[in-house]
Structure 1
Amino acid sequence: MKLKSASIAILLMAVVLFPAVNSEENETENYSFSGNVYTNDGFPANLTSIKFNSMQSIWSSEGTYDYGAVPSGIHTARAYFMNDGHTVVYRKVLVDSDTSIDWYEGKNWATFKLLDEQGMPVSGESDATVEILETGESLTLHGVVSELGPYDIGAYYNIRVDHGTDSGPHQHVHFRMEPGSSSNPWPNDFEFRPGHNSKYGYLLNPMGAPVTGAMVSIGSTSTVTNDDGFFLLQNLEIGVIETLVAQQWGIEITDPVSVEVSAGEGWFNLTSTLEPRMPVPAEFTTQITTTAMEPVDIAWETGLHTDFTSLYMNGDLVYKGNRESFLFEPTEPGTHVFQLESFNSNGSILGDRSLQVVVLPPQSASDLWSSGMSWSYHIISTPEYHQNKTYTAIGTEIVEDAFGEDLDTYVLRVTDEAYGEGEKAFRWVDSENLLNVKTFWSDAPESSSYYQQGHLGWRFSYNGLTANLLSGSHPDSLHFNRTNIIGVPGHPNGYDDTLNTVQITEGVEITTPAGLFTTTYISITDDSDGVVSWELWYNSTVRNYVRIIDRIPGSHSDSVIYDLTSFDVPTAPSFLTETNKLFHTDSYVIQWADYQGASSYDLYENGDLIYTGEETNFRTHDREDGAYAYEISATMPNGEVVQGEGIDIEVLFILQPPEFTLPEETITHTSDVSGGILVEWSVMTAQEETVLESQCGVNIQCQTEVDSRLMEEISWFQVTAEKDGVTEVLYRGPDNTMIFSEEESGQYRIRVQAHIDSRGSTSEYSDSIFIIVDIEPERTSWGMIGFVIFTLIAALILMKWRDEVPDK
């Protein structure tokens, strides 16, 4: 009985314990995944995003990253070098222990997998070796993933594989190192199978140019040529004779040729023998246009060798046939992009240019522009210099022009992909003639403190009476005035005052990268020298000038040409805060444009609702370092919700240096000043989220105030004094005041820095203040000392004389 009971107990324990043991055996192990990120030349990279499979991405810090625990197995890893070329690198990763990978911008790895003769993976040790011939690097293939690298992306490399003395001849691969993408995350991953080899080469047309995007096939194996015309066909069985053919648009462009797969290098270059006659792309004759819910007739010209044409709207087919027009009847506001595709029996081809039709939401008839509208220009200066700038309307403001007249203006923010961090530019544009009334630019703080500000005045007239440039009676004359303030030490300011003749011609067609436009052409000629100072082409659809030639730009250029490349009229709520903006503070303002008719707005941060109300801005607080996605929607009076586009921003907190508040200027410390000098400082926050605040100064840096929230976090301040090249610490502690009481004469350079323990952040040293110590030593009365010495000497002489004179 006891034996039976013991057996039952053991059986029950086995039943209970077995699921736990089985679960423990099946549980996936996790390992750490970390490393460094470098620029192409080996220096620590700036902000870089690391992503593992579809998990949340993380950001590097000072050239290092630590992803934390990741599951074991074969995975995809990606590095996005946001501040070093905006490039990405994708690769295969085997995680079977704590893994460290150092990424280099512009470089990637070749990864390898060994198969046996039946095509099954070889997971253990092997005698096979792989070598990159250009570098001489080699390794023995083992496990399911091996790798060599990193090597330059875009360069070609030769791989030679030796399967061992009993496994047949060498296997060769020639390939171009690729960066990879989300759709092709393992572009440089190769499988090697004994008894197999590769065929590779270049496919050129009869003129010697590469044939891109052609399909090259041997039997059932095929590949597509890259932009060099290069193709690579892998793991073809040695000794087999197959037919090789190249096709483009479904048409064979090479004669079929029998190819025997052999050992050794697999070069096999091709030349196309046929150039299929493809249809000539159709072209829109309708120009880019805006409409307030009115029908738009979209017209085009069909190209040669075309059987029929397809018209797509936002990627969807809306017409197919032989006509050359289509009536578009909009049903809701929005930007609609139309594209043409031409077909014949040899294939199809898309048109070179798309057509945008912008259906406008309800808007006040008196407003020519609204916040969020933007225009992008390609700018060519002489001497030759190229720029691409975008001008975005962010509000309105009353500004005094160069003649002292108050004008209604639109405020434009200028963005340029070449601008450094903190570099800013704005324009204030007359709401009637759309010409600059005020301009401003300031350099990136890390580069210089230079700035430039222009004040302009345009007085158009017709027969001596005030006239509007773009409406009513066309003006025939212009009085122009401009003052350019150059904020560069030693650089003189600029001044212009000219009388000009104005000529206007309607219906002038002009082509820019944005399309073909019918315009009002304006020519402004200087009366003093006959030089055409400005040429402007205005288009009412774009609501702006599509081309400007400025021959007196007020800069070091002889002339500047602006050509419109694109424009955008927001048909949904849009952000004024720039996407991909990097904030160095944990408290910042998100702004959006006023959406006509909206009764309230909803602002979402990473999917969470953080604000509902009528305002068009919201200040965040206490945001941790990382990436944030924002979305905005507008609620209309009838309850309809209009969803806007989103933006992404980054937060990377940097503690700013404190600023001295006392003393306000250089002060001299003398013996007459009792108790020393009070020195006071604070951490300030700059109110610079908008240029429309009236307290903003000439350089668009608004007045600052004490950041009481950060002041509470400060762990310590350190104040130093430098005199005659020697620096000493005067104070270190949590207070933001101290008494300066040095007694040694001289000039002291005083600076302060701050530190927050909880953030591990230390600021740079502040700007300097100077205290001059001028304490004279106590004066000694040399006259009195001389008199005392003289008296003593005289007394001694008298006493000696009395001793020497005999008594009488």
Structure 2
Amino acid sequence: MQQHNMRKPWLLILILFGSLLPLGVASGDSEDPTFTLTGQVYTSEGEPAGSTYVRVDTMESVLSVDGSYSFPGIVPGEHTVRAYFMNDGHTVAYRNIFIEQDTTLDWYEGHNWITVAAVNNTGQALSQEESYTVTLAETAETQDLDDGRTEFGPYRTGDYYTISTHLDGGESNQLTTHLKLEPGSATAPHVNHVVFQEGKNSVFGFVTDAAGNPAPEVIVSGGDVESTTNPDGFYLLNGLSIGQDVELEFIQSGHSIAPNVSVSIDYGSLWVNQTTTTTLELPGNATFLNSVMSVPMGPVELEWTKGLYTDYVELYVNEISQSNIIYRGSSSSFEYTPSESGTSEFFLVAYNVNGTNPHPGSVLVLFLPTQSEEGSWTTGMSWNYSLVHTPEYRSNRTLTAIGTEEIVDAFDRSQSTYLLRITDDRYEDGETAFRWVSSETYLPVKTYWSDAPESSGYYQEGSLGWNFTSNGSDAGLFDGQLSTRLHFNRTNIIGVPGHPNGYDDTHNSVSVQHGVSVTTPAGVFNCTYISIEDDEDGVLSWELWFNSTVQNYVKIIDRLPGSHSDTVVHELTDYSRPNVPTFLTEAVVQSSPTFELQWSEFSNIKGYQLLENGVEVYRGTSTEFEVRNRGDGTYQYQINAITELDYVLMGAVLEIQVDFAPPVPVLTSSASFLSTSETALFSWEYEYEVDHYSLTVQSPDGTTREVYNGSSSFAEVDELEPGLHRFRLTASVNDKLSEPSSSVFVTVETDSSSNNDGFMPYLSALSVMFVLLSAILLIEMGRAKE
């Protein structure tokens, strides 16, 4: 026991020593530190910007919607950072940045930075033993190099700037460069990054034609360095060694268009302008008519316009390479047939005998599958039918898929169904109808219809069951195991006073034929033809023609419609699978300031963008959004799709009118009977913040007066005269008055006719006499037993 106790101090010392070890020693190597880039995003005028994406390298973008952003998880080192102003000009800015701590960076639309680095003659970072400065001539700014780096800006893009420094000693040893500040791009993110190196300088200038116009797309070379003039005719050659003599050449499409110029590389500002002696007409830009398209899977017509001096164009898919060329010629269109659904990008390059324009046009095409996965429906799909009833009645009807739901059919079986909204050109305002159809047979499992409120308010709800069998076993219509028998059951609950409900229960023979052609106003279709014959009377109750491309029945003859008609013929007139995101919410007047918007699913995209009056209010993957607290007025919404390449595919537009009608409050009372000496207590609940409530009472003499006006959720009313009193409550919200509540009646009785607590009923003299006589009778009966 003593030896065991001796070990305890040593064990405690070891534990304490271990706790004092550095974390790296105690638990191995720690993870690399990461830092956060934060800041604001502004419009070019300095106001907080709308939706803006900020991205570092290839990491996932972060979205700023309120003018601020935070980008965590950045490892130390040099990075490329980008800001994409979605709602402010759709512009972008790329820049170089070195992260070694949490950093703040504010962006302005249409602006960018000049970033500067300096190295010694071997390309290594400069020694920190000496201080170096960099000057921006146009603003007279001077910055000290910190670890060989500094920056200027942000400044408006499109302007030219001169940057200089002294790395080689005295003031006369000045290194100078000149550049045009650019937004940058994914392929040229460091276009505004300047690197000064000891012993090297730059040559720059403008190339113009004889008339003084800029000469773009001219290759200017000197030694091993070359540059292509921009649309202003400007070129810049960096990294030329001091003391070197170089011969500047000016080449366009393989032809020399200006005399060579000999330049001795020295310190200072080395401007070399040149005028061309030969003018080559290069082809103008070839431009697609669209920048983003979404089309059903199948051939698509790509169309473009050609610029001046174009002999022919080359069309490429996904990248500009000889293996990806799909067309060469002088046409202005080309029909392309994809091999699979998904996103493809097309590039167009123009050529003539002098060369090509190096800025190809592009278009992004989203090829949608003609059918969704496993042939299922997606929200937003719709089918238009013409309906002819016998006796004669015609209408045009649209069925729109708006969701899915599990439904129990008339045989008490759970069925996966698609929910369809039905609209009809014969419907009145407020008349609504829905249908739930089986996801396997596309036949209705449940139906619902309600009349317009101003008409009757009647409704009809149907529950149906389709039990298809073959040789006694369950079978389907389209799964290869074709049905031969059908047990059909339908119950229609008809919400009309005095009208009996409808009921059908039939046993039928089923015949299925493939490859049957049928013509409807929508075209000629190759169909699966299904005929269902009643075993009892031999009538063809249903004839149905199903087409797999339409993914629905293109024609139905229904001789058991369950309505006042003998026969209803449905013929397809049109159908659509949305090529752009489509709203499922209808354009109705919203009586509430808070409402929900829903839109169709869309395949092969990154997410959705919802705009309200042109301003983004939602971005994400959901297909619904709750709009809250909107004042009266008209709001225009647009739902767009965001592709994987951050292209915006414009979608449908929906106009919603908000006309707020305060809901009717619910009034309750603490008692229905009171004495004149008691106080009536009323209370209520309400979902909105009110301006005030108004409680009124109609007295027994018929006069009405206000007994409370305020914002409380209860009120006490006293000094009520005997008789029946009618109380009602209204609510005022945003200067709008609700309809009065349901009436609450309170009977007030005099104290002499009430007991002390005010709740026991009045006992008449006759009742008292009856009680006394009963008591006497009971006493006498007891005596008789004795």
Q: Which has the larger radius of gyration?
A: 2
TM-score between the two structures when normalised by the length of structure 1: 0.46
